[in-house]
Structure 1
């Protein structure tokens, strides 16, 4: 009996640690995809999309803080198919109004699409853009080529095409 109680206590502590680690790993409450897996935070300004050179993946699309952005192969042109738990793991890049092109980004490829909840999500070359909750710092690409929520996820190059390893 004592062994069962100890195992139960350890399991509960482990579960609490895992849940705490998944919910907020940086203390950032800005709702920008890092430290917060919530996609419900409304942006207060237009999003800026930029590019950055990231190791073997080359020059990829990032936000204005250098955080990696991804496309989801299950999406249709300018239409997100990532909601609910998917949007918690892969928060959408939201914007207040038209997105702005940073260095290396073609403004003609940037657009906005309405999500099911009415938020404005940034698209690039027709691909809705997302963060990955497993990326905790700018420049990380932990979501690259993951198969989650029914399809694969990839970073994009400056032309708006998926980058494969």
Structure 2
């Protein structure tokens, strides 16, 4: 048995060493100046592409009336604390209320007005989509399309509202922090 161990250990070591050098020689066998992409980088590539893609603003009919949503139907909000195209929602605020960003000029569809869509700088080369001069955000508490759980919330120094197709905040008169108005109650449009 001792003879088997003395023979097996060097053999296993040799096989492992050969396997490692064969795996590492792949990168060194590439022509000089060629970048070799690893498996983890290939998996990350689609995420980068999705994060930097052009965004779409469109309109959807909800319990609040017609509101702005993104290309996937997720509700878009404005922050009353923002008094210009420049966002005041950064760091922790931006984790709760992720800004709608785009690499190029945003597009419009289904009822949104092209003349009201633009972008503003968030710093570090990032652009935030704006509508009628208001930076647009999603709410982390909306887990799927059509939800409006952020409507009327008072967070980070101001209130958050869904946005109508003209770029104004939709403020429900009887809203008391609920995710949507009760059926049969009137809806009110408030200016920004």
TM-score range, shorter chain: 0.7 to 0.9
C-alpha distance in 2 between matches for 1:51 and 1:122? 15
Which residue does 2:113 correspond to in 1?
Answer: 106
Determine which of 64, 70, 73 is the counterpart of 1:63. 70
**TM-score normalised to the size of structure 2?**
0.63
What CA distance in whole angstroms lies between the structure 2 residues aligned with 1:63 and 1:152?
Answer: 20
Give, in angstroms, the shift of residue 140 of structure 1: 0.3
Bigger relative contact order, structure 1 or 2, given CA contacts below 8 A and separation 6+? 1
1:10-46 Cα offsets, whole Å, 9 max, x none, are xxxxxxxxxxxxxxxxxxxx98xxxxxxxx9972321
Stretches of structure 1 that go unaligned for 5 or more consecutive residues are 1-29, 32-39
In structure 2, the residue corresponding to 1:66 is in which secondary structure? coil
Query: Which residue does 1:141 correspond to in 2?
Result: 148
1:77 to 80, 84, 89: 84
Kindly indicate whether residue 140 of structure 2 is the aligned counterpart of residue 118 of structure 1.
no
Of 52, 57, 64, the match for 1:49: 57
State TM-score, norm by structure 1: 0.73
* Residues 1:157 and 2:164 are matched in the alignment: yes
Instruction: Name the SS of the counterpart of 2:95 in structure 1.
Output: helix
Structure with greater Cα Rg:
2
CA distance in 2, matches of 1:114, 1:76: 15
* Structure 1 residue 77: Cα displacement: 1.5
Alignment correspondent of 2:137: 130
For the residues of structure 1 that align with 2:99 and 2:62, how far apart are their CA atoms?
Answer: 21
Aligned length: 127
Higher helix residue share: 2
**RMSD of Structure 2 on Structure 1 (CA):** 1.8
Instruction: Flag as ranges the 4+ runs of structure 1 deviating above 3 A.
Output: none
